[in-house]
Amino acid sequence: MEQDIFFYWKSLFPECNTEELEMILQNFFDEEARKGIAEENLESNFEVDYGSEIAKFLLDKNIPYLSFFLPFLNSNQMRIDRIFSSKIIQFNEKYKVEFLINLCEFIWSLSYRVLILETNLLDEEFQEKRNDITLQEFAANEMKTNEKYLLDVYKLYQPLVKFIQLRINLFLSYFEEIIDHTSKDYCELTLAFNEGRALGNIINISLNHGDTHNGGKNVAIISFENGKKIVYKPHSLMIDEKFYGLISWINETIPLNIEKQREITIINKGFYGWSEYVNDLDCSSLGQIRKYYYRFGSLMALIHSLNGKDLHHENIIAEGEYPVFIDLETLFSSSSIVYRKEQKKDVHTHAAEIISDSIYGTGLVPRMIGNGNQFVDISALGADSKQESPFLSYKLENTKSKFKLERVDSSLEIEKNLPRMGQKIEYAKDFLEEIIAGFETMYKWIIDNRETFIKHIRKNFLNVPVRFLYRNTSVYTQLYRTSLHPDFFQDEFSRNIILKRIAIGSDIDQRNVVQAEYKDLLLGDVPYFTVNTDSKDLITSKGEIKNFFLESPLDNTIKKILGFSSIDMERQLEFLNISFFGKKYSPEKDFTFIKFDNDRSENAETIKLETCLNTAIDIGKYLMEKSICLKNESCYERTWISTILEKKNQVIHEIVPVGRDFYLGNSGISLFLGNLGKITKNKKMLAWAEDSINSVISEMKTVEDLEGNLIGGFNGLSGNLYSIYKMKKILEKEEYSDYIFKYMKCIEVNIDYDTNFDVISGVAGAINVFYSIYRDTKDTVLKKYILKVLRKCWEHLKKNAVIDLEKEEVYWKSSVGDISTGFAHGNAGICVAIAKIYYLTKKEECLVYINYALKYERNLYSDSAKNWYTSIAKDTLSYGWCNGSGGILLSRLLLKEFGYTDMEIDDEIEIAFHTTVEKGFGFNLTLCHGDLGLLEIIRKYSKYKNDTVLIQKCNNTFVNIFNDTLSNSKWKSLENRGTETLGIMTGLSGIGYTLLRESNVDMPNILISE
């Protein structure tokens, strides 16, 4: 039965073929897991009783679908009565009504999608009965007056009925637990939280309506008669207790001139605990604000030392001048200690772990998360205003003709994480100096007192349970919400099947973890894992998984503290600065204010080649200081951590490993370092370059490993191939030939998967690289193979061209819908790639495609702006190599070089030249879209025109660039869109490479994959 349903729902697993689906079913889920909650002995046939006591409380409260909710409430009337008859509960009819309404809302949260569907189906059947009321009112009335219909709904959705009963049972059991523990601990609570004075009875228990764990439990706030509030947490609070014990010890130990931290009261009872309720309070002076941020910086260093994670804006309260952490269960977390079968760590993984285990990974410093279109900051320091959420929410549209959920924008409200003065938030960005001072003070204190500090940590944090975040919580919540769809509640297995998606992408050795996740999700909980600080065993809802971790969290944390150093502190502060300054892109931060030089004087200032070379050497040394190295089985690997722009919007920075590609990563940086080492005959620099390219080569294990990758010349496999080919010659490594051929084979395999087609990511970029190698190599066998691949590339371009025969136009539309002009992303660059095919093959059809592609591009020309729009939207003009007049100029020059011409091309060259030199300079320095890239293109134009005056102007312009932005180590303060970047197309490596080009005419032009 389940097997049949499983394959009926096969469309829900598009990532898996039939064999993989069978593997998931057989290998990950035992019989108990297969049954889920289907065999729970829960009564599902019950009557609606409008005369019950509960009904009397609710009938006049205008609750939609009350008839659907009532049987669930009535069947639990005795338990609800017992709760409110407890001696510690102050009976209040208003609170009981609120409690019952909350239960109705709770049932609605489980059943709303079913009720909406049934309402709309009912409307189709009974439109003539509806009269002048809303669909929802009609359905609610039908359920109330037609008991058979209501019972039919219960019968149709029996798994939902059982699930609701299960969740209500867990809900009420948790309420009973809270009351029981409050009664049991009452005397202790009065002493700890009210100086021994009576708290009075409970007047309210407020449960968080968010995610639940471990049987429907989450944080509760208990309100007492005397006005006191106490926080109840359904898990061990030993980590909170130990942390505030550490705070107390530090307060007693640190010098008197260092600000003391707030200590809060914690009662740990083993499987649950009590915490002081912390109120957010205003500050009364600017001095208190400064103290708040100083203390925050100090706490950040402490949290960093203890491997804190996921400490976002909801985890901290601004109590006047004191930042107070209210949830510390994710201390002693580290991404580097998780066991993965047969996983060999490479340098890029190592770099990612460094980021994850830095202050950037704590959740404390600004960090934007989102969906590619919209971003939000939920960090403790960055969530400082109401923000539009990147994740859509649902809004119920309830009219006479419609009753449905609509996806709408939602917002993230301000929490209590930042200090206020007179109700005005005082933003962290304005107090960065205080944050840094607090961080440095605590960090240095830990270094100075390392032995004592470690001794205290070992003694007091031994055998403390902490939470382990196996996956991002959003993965669970999204899957759980999907499982509430009506389609999954009409039989005993369908919901079980959709929840088995949690196994996708997991290795078989993770079977026990996946089963625990599945079990928790079936019960409606977000999976919850813990580990004791001195253990390697993961604790799940199904039991322990032995040796899940490579080392204990405590040992890993001690190792981290031992690694504290001035170098690491500077890295953390660099991350802190980047997180603030890179949060939003400000174009002004990039401006160089360079103008293309019009000085015709032959006596203009020049720069010695030695000066260029020395500056390039300084950049190379700086890159090596910032590099991260790892020794693997056969060689050293080296990479870097840098900032990149979120690809779609190009306005949000993310701190990441640079990766392997040519545009941002190791392939481009290697090429700079390799050429620098070769020119300077510096063996150490050459060794560093080899370490860097090793991390690119190590990716090429098998051709199959890289299937489905981008193949372009800058952020695809062809860019890596280009760099390895160049590095083979620089390093004189004949053994690289095998890797070169493997990369070529892999690119050939991936041509059919290419959906970008352009120079930067797609097949046009691959053509440029293969052409470059073809022209350089003397290997006739390799040349023959390259011609074969180039023919396949050409067929791929023809197959995917969008042709308008009537207009005689052609363009290529990427998988994301972009239709662009320009060299890197559009027709201008693709035309050049086709021209190279023509140059080698003399296929006349190539000229037709170029002609048609240029016609399409020419329709996007703006006569008033003397420039080409970047896309069909005609809303953006640009000047760079990647998009705009600079790239158009380069394209037209190369077309003529490779044998194409027409009546308009010469005029376009002149227009593009004048627009570029008059308007293109001064916005940023980069090769991709800035001054250095444009100067490279103008130099090519000057040689094309054989214009010695223009060549001198280019030299003058370079002098201005060097003096204004590079000389005397000015390059260290350069930014790309707000922060420092290291890659060759937008960062320091590109500046260094340009300096080498200025001092050595034999250096290839990377803008054309020369």
pLDDT tens per residue across span 899-938: 999 999 999 999 999 999 999 999 889 999 999 999 999 9
487: helix, strand or coil: helix
Model confidence over 152-187: pLDDT tens digits? 899 999 999 999 999 999 999 999 999 999 999 999
Sign of CA dihedral 118, 119, 120, 122: positive
Both tokens assigned to 615: 């500056």
Q: How far apart are the first and last CA of the chain?
A: 62
Give pLDDT tens digits for 958-989: 999 999 888 888 887 765 555 678 999 999 99
Tens digit of each residue's pLDDT (9 = 90 or more) over 654-679: 889 999 999 999 999 999 999 999 99
pLDDT score, position 391: 54
In angstroms, the CA 282 to CA 318 distance is 8
Q: pLDDT digit string (tens) for 706-755? A: 667 899 999 999 999 999 999 999 999 999 998 899 889 999 999 999 99
Mean pLDDT, range 817-821, rounded to an integer: 80
In 3D, which of 37, 43, 40, 34 has the Cα closest to residue 1? 34
Sign of CA dihedral 458, 460, 462, 465: negative
Q: Give 606's Cβ-side CA count (13 Å radius).
A: 10
Average of per-residue pLDDT across 231-235 = 96
Extract the tokens encoding 683.
């063996």
Measured at the CA of 540, the angle between CA 490 and CA 304, to 5 degrees, comes to 120
CA dist 564 and 562 (Å) reads 6
Helix axes 736-750, 780-800, angle to 10 degrees: 20
Under 8 Å CB-to-CB from 812, ≥6 apart: which residues?
Answer: 757, 758, 797, 800, 801, 802, 819, 827, 830
112-121, 125-134, 432-441, range with the lowest pLDDT? 125-134
DSSP type of residue 809: E
pLDDT of 398 = 58
pLDDT at 982 (0 to 100): 92
Q: How far is it, in rounded angstroms, from Cα 1005 to Cα 985?
A: 12
pLDDT at 373 (0 to 100) = 58
Percentage of residues of the chain with pLDDT beyond 70:
86
Q: Torsion over CA of 307, 312, 314 and 318, rounded to 10 degrees?
A: 80
Phi-psi region of 681 (alpha: psi -120 to 50; beta: other; left: phi over 0): left
Contact (CB, 8 A) for 538 and 513: yes
pLDDT digits (tens, 9 = 90+) for 277-292: 999 999 999 999 999 9
How far does Cα 236 stand from its chain's mean position? Answer: 30
- Residue bearing tokens 């000015």: 970
* Nearest in space to 531 (alpha carbons), one of 438, 463, 603: 463
pLDDT in the model for residue 325: 95
973-993: b (≥16 Cβ within 10 Å) or e: ebbbbbbbbbbbbbbbbbbbb
pLDDT mean over 467-474: 90
pLDDT of 567 above 80: yes
pLDDT for 29-38, tens place per residue?
765 545 544 4
The pLDDT, as a whole number, for residue 30 is 65
Residue 130, pLDDT score: 62
- Please provide the average confidence, as pLDDT, over all residues in the chain: 87
**DSSP secondary-structure letter at 539?**
E
**Tokens encoding 316:** 């901290």
Out of 145-149, 322-326, 777-781, 955-959, pick the least confident. 145-149
Q: Report the alpha-carbon distance of residue 673 to residue 677 in Å, rounded.
A: 6
The pLDDT, as a whole number, for residue 39 is: 44
Is residue 960 helix, strand or coil?
helix
CB 744 within 8 A of CB 785: yes
DSSP 8-state secondary structure symbol assigned to residue 313: G
Distance (Å, whole) CA 938 – CA 594:
15
Q: pLDDT at position 128, please?
A: 62
Mean pLDDT of 121-139: 68
What is the residue-wise DSSP string for 707-747?
TT----TTTSHHHHHHHHHHHHHHHT-TTHHHHHHHHHHHH
Q: What per-residue confidence (pLDDT) applies to 367?
A: 81
Average pLDDT in the 475-494 region?
89
What DSSP element (H or E) covers 222? strand 220-224
Distance CA 439, CA 442 (A): 5
Contacts 24+ apart (CB under 8 A), 874-879: 878/822, 878/929, 879/915, 879/916, 879/919, 879/920, 879/923, 879/929, 879/934
- At residue 383, the pLDDT reads 58
Distance (Å, rounded) from C-alpha 504 to C-alpha 835? 44
Element of type H or E holding 656: strand 653-657
Quick: pLDDT tens for 617-634. Answer: 999 999 999 999 998 877
| pTM confidence score | 0.88
What separation in angstroms does the CA of 462 have from each of 459, 466, 553? 6, 11, 10
CB 737 within 8 A of CB 695: no
Of the pLDDT bands very low, low, confident and very high (cuts 50, 70, 90), residue 492 is confident
H or E element, residue 53: helix 53-58
Q: What contacts 783, CB < 8 A, 6 or more positions away?
A: 774, 777
Decide: helix, strand or coil at residue 369. Answer: strand
Distance CA 17, CA 9 (A): 12
Burial of 1 (0-12, 13-18, 19+ CB in 10 A): exposed
Amino acid at 954: C
pLDDT in tens, 584-629: 556 677 788 899 986 544 555 677 888 899 999 999 999 999 999 9
d(CA 61, CA 22): 50
* pLDDT tens digits for range 381-435: 875 666 565 555 555 555 555 566 665 555 566 678 899 998 899 999 999 999 9
Q: From 645, 640, 641, select the one nearest 586 (Cα to Cα).
A: 645
546 against 973, higher pLDDT: 546
Quick one: pLDDT at residue 842?
A: 93
**Contact at 8 Å (CB) between 770 and 748?**
no
- Contact (CB, 8 A) for 387 and 375: no
Give the pLDDT confidence of 932-943 residue by residue, as tens digits: 999 999 999 999
pLDDT band at 11 (very low <50, low <70, confident <90, very high): low
Helix, strand, coil percent values for the chain (each to nearest 5): 55, 10, 35
For the record, the structure tokens of 476 come out as 């669970």
- What is the full DSSP assignment across 70-126? HHHHHTTHHHHHHHHT-TTB---HHHHHHHHHHHHHHHHHHHHHHHHHHHHHHHHHS
